[in-house]
Amino acid sequence: MSVNALTELEQSLAAACAALMPDLGLTRVTVRVAGARIGLSPAEVELICPNGPSDIAAILWRQGDAALAGDDIDAQLSAMKVRERIGFLLNRRIDAACADERATHRLIGHLCLPQHLGLYRRLLWESADLVWRKAGDKALDENHYSKRAIVSGILATALMTRLTQGVEAQHAQITRNIEQVMAFETFKAKLPLKPEDALLGAVEFLGKLRFGAAA
């Protein structure tokens, strides 16, 4: 089976699962029923998603990331400041994820189970990385990681806000969170010693205590 054919089957199976999820949730039964509906044998379903529902969850999540692709998006971003780009991309990402809010409720419910939190964190990080790259970020220092950690948190909380309080609350929360982050960055820039420098200094000091002056 070619890579393109496998990808097409993944998308078809994920779409069939999404149609069932509002009523069945995201379980192995859902995946099996969805596969049967599109004419797949159990062996073919196993080939497409060996990890069952978790593979479907990842496919559905990444479909939302695909909403940030396209020349039209880049053209809109070119006229925005960085904070505006981040807000625009986060709102577009969540709007795409919530095209079917009932299915998204089930998807997030699956990802928030303790055994799936590792996958959820990886998917959030992928999305945050995409948002920053689309916004034009090229940082490779420690800020590369802190920026993505912050946006991962904003995305996760804003998505829950959308599902529980609606789109207006989602937009307000993203705006508020970005303003809070920018205010902190402005405050941090005025400090004679940056928090990350203090942390690195403490680590260096502890290393010297443990291993000697050569540490």
Q: Work out the average pLDDT over 104-118.
A: 96
* pLDDT bracket for residue 183 (50, 70, 90): confident
| 203 pLDDT more than 50 | no
| 189 pLDDT more than 80 | no
Of 193 and 86, the structure prediction assigns the larger pLDDT to 86
**What pLDDT digit, counting tens, does each position of 69-91 carry?**
888 898 999 999 989 999 999 99
70 φψ region: left (φ > 0), alpha (ψ -120 to 50), beta (else): left
Distances, alpha carbon 215 to alpha carbons 38, 200, 202, 203, in Å: 61, 13, 12, 10
Structure tokens, 76: 């809109």
Q: Which of 24, 136, 45 is nearest to 14 (CA)?
A: 45
**What pLDDT digit, counting tens, does each position of 158-181 carry?**
999 999 999 999 999 999 999 888
| 208 pLDDT more than 60 | no
**What pLDDT digit, counting tens, does each position of 122-137 carry?**
999 999 999 999 999 8
In 10 A of CB 76, how many CB atoms? 15
Q: What is the pTM of this model?
A: 0.83
Q: Which residues contact 129 (CB under 8 A, 6 or more apart)?
A: 148
